[in-house]
Amino acid sequence: MVILSHNKAGEWETWEVSSQTSPDKEYLITLDHDEGTILCDCPDFTYRKSYKKWGGVDIDDDSTHFCKHIREILENTEGNH
């Protein structure tokens, strides 16, 4: 996975990452600092991991609800989110 872009604006922080298995595919990870939630638009997270009505999870949740993209971002930005 390669981080293609990172943006922070107010309460929102986003990362665009490439897929590990299909480098031509890109996924968007969105962190809402005010709500304490995070989501990814990859199929694994979208269909199997998310549990909030709008599709995210709590940032302080057990990591079994995180896809590999979210885990990678959180590990590489520890203390910065």
Q: Answer for the pair 73, 59: CB distance below 8 angstroms, yes or no.
A: no
How do residues 33-79 score in pLDDT, each as one tens digit?
A: 998 889 999 998 887 776 666 667 878 876 777 889 998 898 887 65
- Alpha-carbon separation of residue 60 from 17, 25, 32, 33, 38 (angstroms): 22, 28, 12, 11, 10
Specify the length of the chain in residues. Answer: 81
Q: Is the pLDDT of residue 81 over 60?
A: no
What is the reported pLDDT for 79?
A: 55
Q: How many CA atoms lie within 13 A of 57 on its CB side?
A: 22
What is the reported pLDDT for 50?
A: 63
- Provide the token pair at 36: 């304490």
What's the average model confidence in pLDDT over 10-15?
94
What is the reported pLDDT for 46?
A: 83
The model's pTM: 0.81
